[in-house]
Chains A and B, each alone.
Chain A
Amino acid sequence: MTTATPATRPAGTPSRRRVFWPGRAGHLFVAAYVVLLIAFGVVPTVYAVYFAFTDAGDNFTGFSNFVEAATDFRFFSAVGHVALYLVCWLVSLVVFVVGLALLLHRLTSSGTSKALRFLYYIPGALAGAASVLVWLFMLDPSVSPVSALLRAFGFDTFGEVVAPDHLPVLFTLIAFWTGAGGWIVVMYGALNNIPPDLLEAARIDGASVWQTAWRIQIPLLRKWIVYMVILAFAGGTQLFVEPQLLSQASVGVAGRDYSLNQLSYDFAFQNNNVNTAAAISVELLVVGLVVAGVFVARSGFFDAD
């Protein structure tokens, strides 16, 4: 890949330039990006690590900040909350996204399928605070369009709906509502990459719809499902805006320290303890980095050349 067309290019032109600075143009093209990468990727990481291993007086403290974070009474409940949320979120994502993509792919009318994919995708525009606000309304029996449904489940007030036990499911609902549409589009695209001959052959051999989906389509989607799960897992560990806004709106039913990011935020800004905050950030960073790194190295998705 180094020299694209050796046959059509006289060897002199590029190599003469390479004498004094090989790849000079390339370096100039990426210079601004590298500056940003260092300033907002590398430096904050290094900085967080530095803070995590020192105290307020800049003395090296080993793992004591990590110990302090881990022994905080809120830490393990936050880990538990995030873990429970992740289970709900990942399971629902895999089951429904794959299921819906398969159903959409079987629709004989391509117009309907396209329209549905777009409509499923619309809530993606409400990512962030907007989706949480919308769902605060959806979950409030006094104004919700599905209040009958909420009451049928025995919830008459907003407070009952957002009881602490329900939160993992509710955050899953919100995350699924905003995020699933995009993944359905991706899965649908991946399904289109499966050669129609293969499905036709299965059909001729007498495979039922279920067998085709289970034995052919889903195995061929595996790579994409893994991609989705990895990204959703990494994103899910960072839960912040949903519990934060919900804790504002529910008068403390959902605590300000529900998730790990909230706890880190609280340590930094409520307790003025940036070192412990940094320790939690480093832990979350390690999760993000390891997940991303392993995925880049092992998935074959991004063969860097």
Chain B
Amino acid sequence: MPTDTRVPAPANESLRRPAPPRRRGTRKLPNPLAALVLVLFLVFFVLPVGWLLLAATKTDDQLVHGNPLSFGSWHALADNWTALTSFQDNAIFLWLGNSALYSFVALAITLCVAIPAGYALAMTEFRGRRTLLVATLVVMLMPNATLVVPLFLEVNAVHLIGSMWSIILPYSFYPFGVYLTYIYFSTAVPRDLIAAAKLDGCSSFGVFRHVALPLATPIVALVGFFSFVANWTNYFLPYVLLPESGQFPVQVGLGTLLNSVPQFNPTVGTTAVERPELALATLLAITPVLVVFLFSQRFLVAGMLAGATKE
């Protein structure tokens, strides 16, 4: 709804850039106040991550007395590594392995469940479709911590406490994935295509397998990404449901490590963990998600804007 048509159309070919080309000649320096704010927030967001990377390379003494933003030494990093891995006999690897197991098995189930469901919600008709869609939206918007204590009660009642399925199955229930798939099929795949395939004699499952699934690659990646990140970073559910340290995912394991750091918990005995080891453990715990982040920026933006395409 442009209100003013006196202006010659400004650079319509680049909708994403509000700055029309003619401004390039008279490009002003950025407003210093705005630049300052942006830089301050850059420091706020990035400094702790940078500090964490460097902290893993220091001794505890260097951490306290050295420049906070200096590199320690490779030697200290190796020492921290040795000390960390010897904590409770390689517990950190066990926890990382558990995290990987829970996250990936849940991811596989999520994809097998969510993709067909989202497809059916978008492309087929069946009784109860609308109800299911609304239920999905409501559950999707509820924070996932809401159901943790109730889930414990349920899992306890069916005697699954301590089983890995008590974590994996709740993780596999991922309404946001269903919603993303639904949005994708209902906006990006024309129904005519499905109708044409049916006309050519394809069964409903044939259509899904041979027409819809090959078109769904982007959404499989997107749902996979979000599901993986959500599962990997979940703390509350495994914290409540898993009774034994040997079953912890790394997020909960970090809490155990934190409890063994004397500076944070003076009652700790001989099994003390030094602060740089805790920093190193934190780094290890976030590395998978960080790597996924770095390689899939495009998905991120697309996924977070999924609602926008529906406007």
Is A93 in contact with chain B by the CB < 8 A criterion? no
User: Of all chain B residues, which has the CB nearest A21?
Assistant: B126
Give A102's nearest chain B residue, CB to CB: B34
- Considering only CB atoms, which chain A residue lies closest to B254 in the complex? A129
B131-164 vs A: 1/0 string, CB under 8 Å? 0111111111111011111111110010000000
Tell me if A32 and B301 are in contact (CB < 8 A).
no
Write the nearest CB–CB distance from A271 to chain B, whole angstroms.
Answer: 13
Can you identify 24 A-B contacts, CB atoms within 8 angstroms?
A24-B126, A24-B204, A30-B132, A32-B112, A34-B132, A37-B132, A40-B170, A44-B151, A47-B154, A48-B147, A48-B150, A99-B37, A110-B16, A129-B235, A143-B55, A143-B63, A177-B44, A193-B308, A198-B1, A201-B2, A245-B255, A291-B141, A292-B141, A302-B307
Place the interface of chain B in its size category.
35 or more
Chain A residues whose CB sits within 8 angstroms of the CB of B192 once the complex forms: 4-5, 8
State whether B137 touches A302 (Cβ < 8 A): yes
Least CB distance from A59 to B in Å reads 17
> Chain A contacts of B233 at CB under 8 A?
127-128, 130
The smallest beta-carbon distance between B139 and chain A, in angstroms, is 5
Nearest 5 Cβ contacts at the A-B interface: A23-B126, A26-B126, A25-B204, A29-B120, A4-B191
B51 at the interface (CB under 8 A from A): yes
Tell me if A36 and B52 are in contact (CB < 8 A): no
CB distance from A32 to the nearest CB of B (A): 5
- Closest CB of chain B to A78's CB: distance in Å? 14
Tell me the complex Cα distance, A304–B289, Å. Answer: 32
Question: Which of B3, B46, B51, B143 neighbours the largest number of chain A CB atoms within 10 Å of its CB?
Answer: B143
Which B residues touch A199, using CB under 8 A? 18
Q: Say yes or no: A186-B305 contact (C-beta < 8 A), given A120-B41, A138-B48, A143-B63.
A: yes
**What residues on B are CB-neighbors of A145 within 8 Å?**
47-48, 51, 68-69
- 13 other A-B residue contacts (CB within 8 Å) besides A22-B125, A195-B15, A265-B149: A36-B169, A40-B169, A40-B173, A44-B147, A47-B153, A51-B153, A108-B30, A122-B49, A128-B251, A130-B282, A193-B311, A288-B143, A304-B134
- Contact: B48 with A177, CB < 8 Å? yes
Cβ-based interface call for B117 (8 A): yes
Quick one: which of A201-244 are within 8 Å of B by CB?
201, 204-205, 227, 230-231, 234-235, 237-238, 240-241, 244
Query: In angstroms, how far is the closest chain B Cβ from the Cβ of A206?
Result: 11
A51–B229 alpha-carbon span in the complex (Å): 32
B304 near A40 with CB under 8 A, answer no
**Partner pick for A33 among B47, B114, B199, B239, CB 8 A cutoff:** B114
Q: Which residues of A contact B49 (CB under 8 A)?
A: 122-123, 126, 134
Cα distance, A134 to B192, chains bound together (Å): 52
A296/B48 contact (C-beta < 8 A), A29-B119, A129-B255, A137-B275 known = no
Q: Assess the B293–A125 pair: CB atoms within 8 A.
A: yes
> Does A301 lie at the interface of the complex (its beta carbon under 8 Å from any beta carbon of B)?
yes
A32-B117, A193-B308 are known contacts. Are A2 and B125 too (CB-CB below 8 A)?
Answer: yes
B132 touches A295 (CB 8 A): no
Let me know if A281 and B308 touch, CB within 8 A.
no
Q: Mark A1-17, 1 if CB is under 8 A from B, else 0.
A: 01011001110011000
Contacting pair A29 B146 (CB below 8 A): no
B-contact 0/1 string along A138-155, CB 8 Å cutoff: 101011111100000000
Assess whether A45 is interfacial by the CB under 8 Å rule: yes
Task: Given A2-B125, A120-B42, verify A44-B130 contact (CB < 8 Å).
Answer: no
* A58 sits at the interface (CB 8 A): no
Chain A contacts to B: CB under 8 angstroms: 2, 4-5, 8-10, 13-14, 22-27, 29-30, 32-34, 36-37, 39-41, 43-45, 47-48, 51, 96, 99-100, 103-108, 110, 116, 118-130, 133-138, 140, 142-147, 158, 177, 180-182, 185-186, 189-190, 192-193, 195-201, 204-205, 227, 230-231, 234-235, 237-238, 240-241, 244-245, 248-251, 261, 264-265, 268-269, 274, 277-278, 280-281, 284-285, 288-289, 291-293, 295-296, 301-305
User: By the criterion CB–CB under 8 Å, are B141 and A177 in contact?
Assistant: no
Instruction: Tell me whether B3 and A198 are in contact (CB under 8 A).
Output: yes
Known interface pairs A26-B126, A248-B258, A289-B142; A36-B48 also in contact (CB < 8 Å): no
Q: Is B196 an interface residue (CB 8 A)?
A: yes
Chain B residues closer than 8 Å to A9, beta-carbon distance? 195, 198-199
Residues of B within 8 A of A (CB): 1-4, 6-7, 9-12, 15-20, 23, 27-28, 30, 34, 37-38, 41-42, 44-49, 51-52, 55, 63-64, 68-69, 112-114, 116-117, 119-121, 124-127, 129-130, 132-143, 145-154, 157, 169-170, 172-173, 175, 178, 191-192, 194-196, 198-199, 204-205, 208, 229, 233-236, 239-240, 251-252, 254-255, 258-259, 261, 263-266, 275, 278-279, 282, 285-286, 289-290, 293, 297, 300-301, 304-305, 307-308, 310-311
Specify the chain A residue showing the minimal Cβ separation from B117.
Answer: A33
Given contacts A37-B175, A189-B308, contact A296 B141 (CB under 8 A): yes
